[in-house]
Amino acid sequence: MLKSYVLTAFRFLQKNRSFSFINIFGLATGTVCCLYMLLYVREQYSYDQHYKQAENIYRINSSLKRAGDVHNAATTSPPIAPALKNDFPEIQQYTRISIPMSDNRQLLHYQDKALYVTQGAYVDSTFFDIFTYHFVSGQAATALSGPYTVVLLQSVAEKLFGSTDPTGKIIRIENAGSTHDFKVDGVVDESLGKSHIQANVFFSMNSGGIGDFILQNDSWASNNFVSSYVKLNPASDPAALEKKLPAFLQQHGGQQLKSIGMEKVLHLQPIREVHTSTTYDLGLGKTVSTRFLYLLLLIAVLIQVIACINFMNLSTARAAKRAKEVGIRKVMGAKRNDLIQQFLGESLLLSAIGVLLALPLLALALPYLNMVTQADVTLDLLSDYRLWLMITALIVTTGLVAGSYPAFYLSAFNSIKVMKGNFSNQISAAGIRRSLVVFQFVLSIVLITGIITIYSQLNYIKSRDLGFEKDQQLVLSFHTQDAKSKMTGLATALRQLPEIKAAGMSNNYPSQFVFNDMHIHTAVTNVNDAVETQYMLTDEKFSTAMGIQLSAGRDFRAADSGRVLINETMARQLGLKTATAPGQRIFSQSAEASTPVSFEIAGVMKDFNYNSLHDNVRPFMLMYDTDPTDFSHIIINSNSKNYKALLGKISATWKSFLPNVPFEYVFLDEAVQQQYETEITLSRIINYFTLIAILISCLGLFGLAAFSAEQRKKEIGIRKALGASVAGIVRLLSGDFLKLVLIALLIATPIAWYAMSQWLSAYAYRISIQWWMFAGAGLLASLIALVTVSFQAIRAALVNPVKSLRAD
């Protein structure tokens, strides 16, 4: 019987080639998208799953509250992790990681080779006791146990050493903090799995610089910049341990916290949840929002559902051609369950063909899809058994969803009526088909509205006045002590170029994470009411180069030590009037110092968005610094439109000061745009996959239009014989589908409005949703439907009425 079902299915597919092509192509196209999305989401959830005893590894996070401000950080103060290991037997091991936020680029030297490397991490010697890496060379047990030792990522080792084993060799490393020789303890790769710890070089903690500062630091309140991890004993209860942490923190750091008016709470976060958590700032790698992943899964499901709807619609539309087959089978003794099994089997066969056809298409499209999502999804059909489980589940789910309604619908035909040819009432599923078409276009209109809204918000971001000049701005960065020592002379030389209006130095610049902060209060304000303030170190030329406007007071002058520029928000939160704030003194009290540090306000800056438009402007200040080695960047404000010539002059000036350092630069507007990488990626994803969803919908609509034209060919012949024009026939056939699009627009509008309102709520500065966005989406959907249907309508209208009226 199974053989009979398969042969029948193949004969039906062969006989109805157009029907088969539309269904198989639609299923294959939908499956390519759906399967890629599933692989992408699976990859994002695969981070940090490969560590031994990963279920027992936790990151220690901090919630910091001061003067009403709450900051959730993926970091802690340096002494917390060692003290936890000492005080709680539940903790088997700890380790700490610090990737400098201000300037994390190292220059590696080996013999005559030099290589710039980013993401250098200072780690405790216990790092490889907790985190499992595959050692290509060297041993995990002994790595980083001595001072001034490093472990290199394989890609870095190959660039520096080629095929030579680097273990035991000495390399010289220059960075912003020091220059020193390091012994290579090993080489690791990432073959075991992906990690949220994005590091290319691992330094032993006892290697001077920031590492020594961490080892010697005893601050329990401030200096919350260290990523700390613990591995619990398998029998330990993390929830019970977390409840003990407030008393632990009070015992060791209560006095320090009280002295600066801070409340601190520690949390244990499972390592497997780190990559998909966006709750905490200062994480070691890029994270991805679970809302974003759920959205991708929703899009994947919707695209596959659209493909399934095509199958349902076309199957029920062609029910008349199979009615007699059902009647004969029932007369011959077939039960309804047998027929359901047959039709579900055909659906599963069609689904299997579509999914298996999708696999080579996905392999071909994978590089392009990865470009769209900025991901590194791979398709390993030979060794990844989970992939085949996913493919099997997709075939079964798609087959059952697509074939369920046609199977139950066709199997319900009354055998006597259909054998007599009286089955018109049995196959009146037009209402169901219309509903499914409406559903398809609801999805399409929602997605099109999403495209319009996201593009509008991104254009708003691009065009909004951020309060500083981002266009025609170049940023030069300096990563070694030697390079920093030449910054002042280089900046002076650059200012002599006629194309450069101004050049200022700083330790940071807008669009980059502001890593410096302190709590500021006035002389009459209690320390407990201090305002959390982010700040940058700059010279007297920086605000001019950035085009930052002042509301009151003056800009920095040379040798303006101890003075600051504050923004209007900071003045307001400190209770200062903008006009009278210049000349007043403000204070900051740290837990380590016995007396507060004071600053004089030189001027008040107009608020500007130094961070992304996701956030409101926060208290911020520029602090004048006389030590050029504290700076890492020169910001150049140019008036030239010939950037090729300008960059040539800047490069020549650079080489005259730093002949052995590669010339590198970034455009400030591009750096600002990178803050919205997630939105840009989402925009690309919705653009591409909406087009695919529309394509699949059009395929189904094309098939239904063809069926409708065929079903009404005698009506069309009569109308033409009575004088109806081709245009009138086209309006008649197209009008029914356009009504469905209008209904879809009415249903889609509130859904799209709610979805886009939720998405825009993540921005402090955002557009308003306008009526034309929905009207535009509806008009585009109508045009798409009209073009799709009109082809079949015109074709039917041009048929000779004599042929149409001829008896079948």
Lowest mean pLDDT among 187-196, 242-251, 548-557, 790-799: 790-799
pLDDT of residue 427: 44
Question: Residue 632 — pLDDT band, cuts 50, 70, 90?
Answer: confident
Mean pLDDT of 573-589: 89
Mean pLDDT of 95-121: 81
Return the higher-pLDDT residue of 102 and 659: 659
Question: Residue 5 — pLDDT band, cuts 50, 70, 90?
Answer: low
546 Cα distance to chain centroid: 29
Task: Give the CA-trace dihedral at 671, 677, 681, 684, to 10 degrees.
Answer: -40
pLDDT of residue 722: 66
Q: Give how far Cα 458 sits from Cα of 379, 452, 455, 510, Å.
A: 32, 10, 5, 18
Mean pLDDT of 179-202: 90
**Residue 738 carries which side chain, given as an amino acid letter?**
L
**Residue 126 carries which side chain, given as an amino acid letter?**
T
Helix (H) or strand (E) holding 149: strand 149-153
Give the whole-angstrom CA distance, residue 81 versus residue 230. Answer: 7
Selection from 4-18, 94-108, 147-161, 527-541 with the highest mean pLDDT:
147-161
Selection from 106-120, 404-418, 566-580 with the highest mean pLDDT:
566-580
By percentage, how much of the chain surpasses pLDDT 70?
Answer: 82
Q: Which residues contact 603 (CB under 8 A, 6 or more apart)?
A: 550, 551, 552, 553, 554, 555, 565, 582
Contact by Cβ (8 Å): 535, 517: yes
End-to-end CA distance of the chain: 33
For residue range 352-394, list pLDDT tens digits in order: 888 888 888 888 988 888 888 888 888 877 777 777 887 888 7
Is the pLDDT score of 126 beyond 90? yes
Give the whole-angstrom CA distance, residue 291 versus residue 152. Answer: 35
Q: Which residues make beta-bridge pairs with 595? A: none
For residue range 472-512, list pLDDT tens digits in order: 789 998 877 778 888 889 999 999 998 899 999 998 888 88
Mean pLDDT of 784-796: 72
For residue range 212-253, list pLDDT tens digits in order: 889 998 888 888 889 999 999 998 899 999 999 999 999 998
Question: Residue 94 — pLDDT band, cuts 50, 70, 90?
Answer: very high
pLDDT of residue 184: 92
For residue range 385-444, list pLDDT tens digits in order: 777 887 888 788 877 776 676 666 666 655 555 555 555 544 455 666 677 778 888 888
Give the whole-angstrom CA distance, residue 294 versus residue 394. Answer: 18
For residue range 43-83, list pLDDT tens digits in order: 889 899 999 999 999 999 998 887 667 778 889 999 999 99
Q: Which residues contact 591 (CB under 8 A, 6 or more apart)?
A: 219, 220, 221, 222, 256, 257, 259, 260
Which structure tokens are listed for 519?
A: 């709590």
Average pLDDT, the chain: 82
Give the whole-angstrom CA distance, residue 12 versus residue 319. Answer: 12
**Residue 724 carries which side chain, given as an amino acid letter?**
A
Q: Would you call 127 helix, strand, or coil by DSSP?
A: helix
Which structure tokens are listed for 313?
A: 């619609």
pLDDT of residue 319: 54
Q: Is 507 exposed, middle or buried (0-12, 13-18, 19+ CB in 10 A)?
A: buried
Of 124, 103, 107, 129, the closest CA to residue 182 belongs to 107
Give the whole-angstrom CA distance, residue 470 versus residue 668. Answer: 6
Question: Residue 739 — pLDDT band, cuts 50, 70, 90?
Answer: confident
Give the whole-angstrom CA distance, residue 766 versus residue 464. Answer: 10
DSSP string, 691-731: HHHHHHHHHHHHHHHHHHHHHTHHHHHHHHHTT--HHHHHH
pLDDT of residue 69: 72
For residue range 131-169, list pLDDT tens digits in order: 999 999 989 888 998 999 999 999 989 988 888 889 999
Is the pLDDT score of 269 beyond 90? yes
pLDDT of residue 392: 84
Of 545, 524, 556, 525, the closest CA to residue 621 belongs to 556
Q: Which residues make beta-bridge pairs with 182? A: 171
Phi, psi (rounded to 5 degrees) for 674: -65, -15
